[in-house]
Structure 1
């Protein structure tokens, strides 16, 4: 909110979005080969849920046209993007063009896609989906993981990409 703006000029949704932008989050690529094509999106709503069974959760927007396609995949790759992968995040968040152009990635035997240069790779299967308002809350079971602790993660804070 600009110094001259009053509370009445900002909708509750905009005010909440600005407030929540104070909470830094990681940036995660969700990707898989679907119908022979690489398919993916970027999300910043990602959490660890459980160690036994190994579960994580993501929250794709209901307005996403890519998530329903990606949700058909047998396995989905989650890549916690590295600090130098801002362009990868922007490309995967794009609504037009080839999202995978100029991105180095690899697919597992199960069809999960991982981004080269990420801090963490998880190969997952969808377990449950719940109503989350304008987003869907999706729990995924972690089938395998590979960590790259030397990679500094990309962070989204105050509506900007940043490194730690």
Structure 2
């Protein structure tokens, strides 16, 4: 069976995803970043997370070269950061407030959580790469509501009482 890529993409849009910006710091001190909507927890022992950059990404090779990255889980109202870090421009950090973590990774202000990692492995996965990171540090804003993407639109999470 052959699936039409456009139909497959449309069908997968019915599953909500979180929105993250992967950041790192080049040896030159340049802050690097890219938007991803394919982030997941992978393992508890050892603590591993993963994301899938497109093989055609021009940002990923620079981030990969650092050997480390931070997953900035975007919060409600940060759609502009998602758009900014997915735009085909070099200086994505202009007008973006961030600070460096103790590990020297860019943490975007206002994000809901930050997961700092060392690259553990990178695997081929069709037209993407599957990047595994071993978690070195994690911080979260307990009251932040995550930004989600569903059917081509941004949204927010509403928690229901149990």
- The whole-number CA distance in structure 2 between the counterparts of 1:96 and 1:69 is 14
What is aligned with 1:71?
64
Residue of 16, 33, 42 corresponding to 1:24: 16
Summarize the alignment of residues 47-58 of structure 1 with structure 2, pairs less than 5 Å apart: 47-58=40-51
| Structure 1 vs Structure 2 CA RMSD | 1.2
Task: Give deviations 1:62-114, integer Å, cap 9, x for gaps.
Answer: 01011000111142111100011100110000102521122111112433211
Contact 1:33 1:107 in 2 (8 A): no
- The whole-number CA distance in structure 2 between the counterparts of 1:93 and 1:27 is 11
CA shift, 1:33, in A, is: 1.1
Summarize the alignment of residues 1-164 of structure 1 with structure 2, pairs less than 5 Å apart: 12-34=4-26, 35-96=28-89, 98-164=91-157
TM-score (norm 2): 0.91
- The whole-number CA distance in structure 2 between the counterparts of 1:74 and 1:43 is 18
Show structure 1 runs of 5+ residues with no match.
1-10
**Secondary structure of the structure 1 residue equivalent to 2:9:** helix
Name segments (4+ residues, structure 1) moved above 6 Å: none
TM-score (norm 1): 0.90
- The whole-number CA distance in structure 1 between the counterparts of 2:116 and 2:99 is 12
Show structure 2 runs of 5+ residues with no match.
158-162
